[in-house]
Structure 1
Amino acid sequence: MEQEQVVNITEAAAFHIKDMIKENEEEGSYIRVSVNGGGCSGLSYGMGFDHEKKEGDIEHDYYGIKVLVSSQDAPILKGTNIDYKQSLMGGGFTIDNPNAIASCGCGSSFRTAKNAGSPENC
């Protein structure tokens, strides 16, 4: 049975992630997208390499990138789009989460209607 898509990774983001995998010699690893407590608004995003799939993880493949989201984080991240944008100041990932009802000025933390997290000072 096909699991419902939680996050979407754009082609530009996947291309950059592939470069990161090569640079960090992380071939065969997963990219884990997560939600952590903290930040000005209470929740913050996490994205990094993981070498094992845990029980309850939801796995999807985007352009050859294996992405994991825990079933606990899935409701908070459902519908989130992860892109990579390049500008004169450099490049970076952008995260558009339709569940976020507030975010802080630094753009790295958020809260949802159902989960305010644990706010900290930025």
Structure 2
Amino acid sequence: MSDADPFALPTSDVDRVLTISDSAVKRITKLRDMEGDDQLMLRITVSGGGCSGFQYAFDFDKDTKAQDMLFEKNGVTVVTDETSMDLLAGSEVDFVDDLMGAYFQINNPNATASCGCGTSFSV
């Protein structure tokens, strides 16, 4: 019996990239300034749940763990764990401010479907 994660997508090290849009950089910078702590990183976690099978969670964190992967752009760092990265590989972190509201959005090429709110997806 294999210990492999049944939800993990096959990815190479080259595919295990997470990009950060300019809009997301600006918003993370603004939120860090509001908190008065330029060491805060945006942590993205993928977990089971939501109306489509998986859901994104966003939080600020100052600490990293051994299994974390860090991605930086213009002084802003986004961190995620290796298990979440299996589902995020090749994605872009964006920040959207429109008539529907202001929110972080993941443009995920691995998602085969997503819910209307954009925080839940399936593969």
Q: TM-score range by the shorter chain?
A: 0.7 to 0.9
Q: 1:72 deviation in Å?
A: 1.2
Aligned length: 111
- Aligned partner of 1:29 in structure 2 is 40
Which residue pairs with 1:87 in the alignment?
Answer: 98
Structure 1 CA distance, aligned partners of 2:14 and 2:67? Answer: 11
| 2:52 is the counterpart of 1:46 | no
Unaligned runs of 5+ in 1: 113-122
Equivalent-residue separation in structure 1 for 2:30 and 2:14 (angstroms): 27
Distance 1:103 1:90 in 2: 18
Distance 1:67 1:84 in 2: 13
Aligned residue in 2 for 1:67: 78
Q: Deviations over 1:28-66 (max 9, x none)?
A: 122111102211011111121112110111112111112
- TM-score (norm: length of structure 2): 0.79
Distance in 1 between the 2:15 and 2:52 partners?
A: 28
Task: Tell me whether 38-47 or 90-99 shows the greater mean CA deviation.
Answer: 90-99
1:119 — aligned with what?
Answer: none
Correspondence for 1:9 among 20, 32, 47 = 20
When the two chains are superposed, the root-mean-square deviation of aligned CA atoms in Å is: 2.0
**1:102 aligned residue (103, 108, 113):** 113
